[in-house]
Structure 1
């Protein structure tokens, strides 16, 4: 892919053939070789650390012009690679385009089927919404927008509080889920259980989990493509782990955790991937890179990731949020807040008022208090801040990725 992209972008760093030649000359494309002496290995480690430190300095608030320039060039490289990839899969692209044309004609055609079309439209858009949030949470070129804390978690908490207050989960649609309102009095009360509330939010949670699984695919595909072309995965974290793998006793808890996870994925396979995906794991990108590098079959990796994230981990997270925001647990937490020395009573009063206001809104949706307005304003500003940070992180990450291309091209020029 890099060779194809270099035909369109003149500043694209070294072709695949050149990198393969370099890899054959030093044994590992710049990574430590088992036959290296200690002095050479130490010098190589220092060189990598120096290059990594230089790349980390390329950020918008330190070098804005250089960062923007590198970001635009890396974007051009990625765009050319994407066009070539679409051309390679042109048969599938054509089939998808024809399917979309057929669905569009069906959508606008009058008939009795419109009732089902509108229903499917609503469900599909709802699923795509949560699927997209899940992808944003795990995909971001090294950073992710924490959409569980910003969207899914608060949504599950709102449904939980409403279920106990309304004694029902039959919230009318619309306005649910934009605004949850207790059903009319003609609806019989239900006995609220954990399973009832989990069933109410299962679709959203599973779609979000599936999105996080899809977001883990780019590191897998990039590492797999690099291995098939005879290169090492182009990832700093992977290179760092390979460097530490040469140490008999690696230092640092995080480093040992990364090495342990990599060993688990390599030795156990499907069950190892499933175990890593079934728990909150910020290091899972390394599992995808490892699987791609060792040519683990796609459905083995994606199947285990999908099962772990969309089923096992999501049910654990749902259970935790629902239990935490159950009616009696919330009341106990508010009561415990009052026992905090000095500031307890002053903190307890706003929490109590907020809960009462939320319960009132479930029965009277137009009632908006000053506390609700302040909290809504603060939450909106938090979301704006997180989205801006997410965008800036992508810009910095892509600029650093292009800087790494330049460093690799300079290293190849010295070897010639």
Structure 2
């Protein structure tokens, strides 16, 4: 009897959790716009208050950090503007530092991003690699200005005669790609620390993904492709350890957050998890992605693709024309001959611009939805605490 009552209570609790989750997921802009925006603003204010209270608790550390940053900034500022032989090196280091931090932040946004990954590889890094690849073949050299580049890459006045290879282009974009890869590895740490803290404290964090992860741990088998894939990832990481993490970090893997949660839950050492993730994402995955983009947009491949587009019956020539115009305009821009009007007037450029705007809009909407649903979960937990207190007072 006691076992049956326990099972019925568990089933009722699961139904309540499922109903509460469905209510939270209904908080989207296209269904409930006003309450979604209201909860988003309230969650923003709540987070700001929590951050400010944490900063006040650690004000000694904060003051020390600000003091060190002030001393470093003043020293660097003085060296930057004081005339001397050192100024060239300081300016070079400043440019490289800003350029590296820019790509590092984009990498963190790609794998972390306030509950939703911002696809910064497709939006920023991939177009940058394409631009450098086209410039290298058109200029006949990779000796154009060091990053950060101006508005667009300009070929050197003396046209190079060096043979352009995939490896020379890869070395030209190595800094940007590696910093972006390091950022993606850093962005994978929150799920690891969340699961590790929950295991140490014995309490569940306020995160839906972790709740799903714990439900998955209780299941011996799962139905459907995605649940089975999740169980397989969990088993592989648990069995192979460092090499399992390395394998999953070395390929584009939307389930890698699950690997981080698994490592945190089973108390895998930090440097084992982060070291394997860093090696996989920077040394393997990033080079595969970079090599693929450079090979696809190399000169002979682009020419073959244009000829294939032109060979399509009836619509081929009309499709080929805007691509050809766009590439010609880009070549003139690389040689600083100016063709801004031609590029802006091309419908292909117009389509790319709108795709970028729509992507950014969807990312912003997903962030709003995530934060609104988090605030709704706070309210639900407060209601549950009140109900528990009422039951305790009644029993007394």
TM-score category of the 2 structures, normalised to the smaller one: 0.7 to 0.9
Pair 1:138-2:107 in alignment = no
Residue in 2 that maps onto 1:52: 21
- Return the offset for 1:325: 0.7
- Return the offset for 1:204: 0.5
Check conservation: 2:99, 2:148, Cα contact below 8 A.
no
Residue in 2 that maps onto 1:75: 44
| Distance in 2 between residues matched to 1:387 and 1:351, nearest whole Å | 24
| Distance in 1 between residues matched to 2:351 and 2:76, nearest whole Å | 40
Pair 1:195-2:167 in alignment = yes
Pair 1:411-2:380 in alignment = no
Q: 1:232 to 1:394 in 2, by over 3 A?
A: same
Aligned length: 381
Q: 1:36 to 1:370 in 2, by over 3 A?
A: farther
Check conservation: 1:107, 1:114, Cα contact below 8 A.
no
| Distance in 1 between residues matched to 2:13 and 2:312, nearest whole Å | 54
Check conservation: 2:95, 2:148, Cα contact below 8 A.
no
Residue pairs, 1:4-403, within 5 angstroms:
37=7, 42-87=11-56, 90=59, 92-109=61-78, 110-112=82-84, 113-173=86-146, 176-185=149-158, 188-374=160-346, 375-403=348-376
- Return the offset for 1:319: 0.5
Residue in 2 that maps onto 1:8: none
| Distance in 2 between residues matched to 1:293 and 1:72, nearest whole Å | 32
- Return the offset for 1:126: 0.7
| Distance in 2 between residues matched to 1:155 and 1:138, nearest whole Å | 19
Check conservation: 1:241, 1:259, Cα contact below 8 A.
no
- Return the offset for 1:282: 1.5
| Distance in 1 between residues matched to 2:357 and 2:198, nearest whole Å | 36
- Return the offset for 1:127: 0.8
Report Cα offsets for 1:176-215 as digits up to 9, x if no partner.
3531122122x54111111111000000011111111222
Report Cα offsets for 1:314-340 as digits up to 9, x if no partner.
101000101111111111111222233
Secondary structure of 2:107's counterpart equals helix
| Distance in 2 between residues matched to 1:237 and 1:400, nearest whole Å | 13
| Distance in 1 between residues matched to 2:9 and 2:252, nearest whole Å | 38
Secondary structure of 2:340's counterpart equals coil
- Return the offset for 1:408: 2.7
Report Cα offsets for 1:256-307 as digits up to 9, x if no partner.
1112112222222222222221111112222222223333332222222222
Larger deviation: 80-89 or 330-339? 80-89
Q: 1:159 to 1:177 in 2, by over 3 A?
A: farther
Secondary structure of 1:160's counterpart equals helix
CA RMSD of aligned residues (A): 2.6
Residue in 2 that maps onto 1:30: none
Structure 2 unaligned segments of length 5 or more: list them: none
Larger deviation: 394-403 or 227-236? 227-236
Report Cα offsets for 1:137-178 as digits up to 9, x if no partner.
122233122111111101111111111222210013588353
- Return the offset for 1:397: 0.6
Report Cα offsets for 1:16-73 as digits up to 9, x if no partner.
xxxxxxxxxxxxxxxxx9x964x55554443333222110111233323322332233
Secondary structure of 1:144's counterpart equals coil
- Return the offset for 1:390: 2.0
| Distance in 2 between residues matched to 1:56 and 1:175, nearest whole Å | 42
| Distance in 2 between residues matched to 1:108 and 1:142, nearest whole Å | 37
